[in-house]
Amino acid sequence: MTLRLHSEFPAPNRVILQVGGRLDAMTFGELDEAALALLRRLDDGGTVVIDLAGLEYVSSAGLRSFAKIRKSMRARGGHTLLLNPQPQVRKVFDIVKAVPVSEVFTSTQELDAYLDRMQRQITEGDNDE
Partner 1 sequence: MTLHSISSRMALWVLAGSTLVLATVGALLFSFTRAQILQHSHHEAAALAASAGSQIQARIDRVAVSAQMLATIIATRQDSAEPLLRDTLQANHDMDGLAAVFKPSSEPGDIHPYSPFIRRLDDGTLITRDLSYDANPYGDSNWFLGGLSCSAGCWQRPFVSLSRRRQLINYSVAISREGHPVGIINADVTLDWLHQILGHLNKPEGAYAFVLDSDGNYLAHDNPALVGKRGTPTLLEVLAGDRAESVRLPVAQNPRVRGAVWIYSVPIEGTHWRLGLVVPEIQIYAGVRRIFLWSLALGMLALLAVALITLLTIRRTMAPLGVLADRAEHVARGELDFELPPTTRHDEVGRLTQSFDQMRHELALHMEDLARVAREKQRLASELEIAHQIQIGLLPSEHYLDAVCAHFELHAALRPARAVGGDLYSYFMLDPGRFFVMVGDVSDKGIPAALFMAQTITLAKALAPRGQTPQSLLRLLNLELCRGNDSCMFVTLLCGLLDTGNGNLVLASAGHEPPILCSRDAPQLLDFPTGAVLGLYEDSDYPEHRLRLRRGETLLMYTDGITEASDHHKQMYGIERTMESLGQVSSMAPTAGYIERLLGDVDLFVADAAQADDITLLALTWHGSTPPSTEIGIGNQLPEVFDALDRCEHLLREADVPLSLHSDMRLVLEELMVNTVEYGYPEGRPGQIRILLHPSPDAVTVELIDDGIAFDPLQSVLPDLPGDLADREDIGGLGIHLARTMTSEMRYTRDAHRNHLLLRFIYPNQDSSS
Residues of the shown chain interacting with partner 1 in the complex, contacts defined by CB under 8 A = 24-26, 56-57, 59-61, 63-64, 66-67, 70-71, 74, 80, 88, 92, 95-100
- Going 125 to 78 to 12 to 108, the CA torsion angle's sign is negative
Nearer CB in complex with partner 1: 12/29: 29
Number of CB atoms found within 10 A of residue 89's CB:
23
d(CA 16, CA 34): 12
Nearer CB in complex with partner 1: 83/99: 99
For residue 87, the 8-state DSSP code is H
Q: Give min distance, CB of 16 to partner 1, in A.
A: 19
Nearer CB in complex with partner 1: 75/124: 75
